Amino acid sequence: MHQGTAASPMLISFDIDGTMAFGEPPGPVPVSFVQAAIDAGHIVGSASDRTTAGQRRLWAVHATAVRFTGHKHHLGILRERFPAVVRFIHVGDTEVDQRYAVKAEFEFWHVDDAPAFLGRGWPDLGIAR
């Protein structure tokens, strides 16, 4: 697997509801984990069913400067917007998240696996816990 560096960052997209700790319903991914991905040099944002303005407000309330917000059915646009990225990941909680991630040729990481990846970090992404 590739590791993200300043020369080859990875793009990580997070669903909000059911995925992020501040979602409705809350999910298992804390804002600190998203910030760790940003600090590791990755391109991080959200793809959700919420409006983009609503997503931007949520990230601002949590003092997290994400690089993008959008709708999960538009994940493919991110490939065009960030052509230097070598690895695309979408983290979500539903079959809809998975369907759109696969359609956009993203890896899909289900939050049911969150205890494992949150507990050990994502060493292959350069994110320590």
In this structure, what are the phi and psi dihedrals at residue 69, rounded to the nearest 5 degrees?
-140, 150
Place of tokens 């080859």: 8
Q: Is the pLDDT of residue 5 over 90?
A: no
Q: Is the pLDDT of residue 2 over 50?
A: no
Is the pLDDT higher at 62 or at 112? 62
The residue extents of the domains of the chain are 11-119
Give me 68's structure tokens.
């993008």
Position 36 scores a pLDDT of: 87
Residue 125 · residue 85 · CB < 8 Å? no
Compute the radius of gyration of the chain from its Cα atoms: 13
How does DSSP assign 80-121, residue by residue? HH-TT-S-EEEEESSHHHHHHHHHTT-EEEEGGGHHHHHHH-
Q: Please compute the mean of the pLDDT values over residues 103-113 and round it to a whole number.
A: 92
Q: Looking at the whole model, is its pTM more than 0.75?
A: yes
80 CB neighbour count, 10 Å cutoff:
7
In this structure, whether the domain defined by 11-119 belongs to CATH 3.40.50.1000 is answered with yes
Q: Please compute the mean of the pLDDT values over residues 9-30 and round it to a whole number.
A: 94
Return the sign of the alpha-carbon dihedral for residues 45, 48, 51, 54.
Answer: negative
Q: Please compute the mean of the pLDDT values over residues 90-119 and round it to a whole number.
A: 88
Q: Is the pLDDT of residue 6 over 90?
A: no
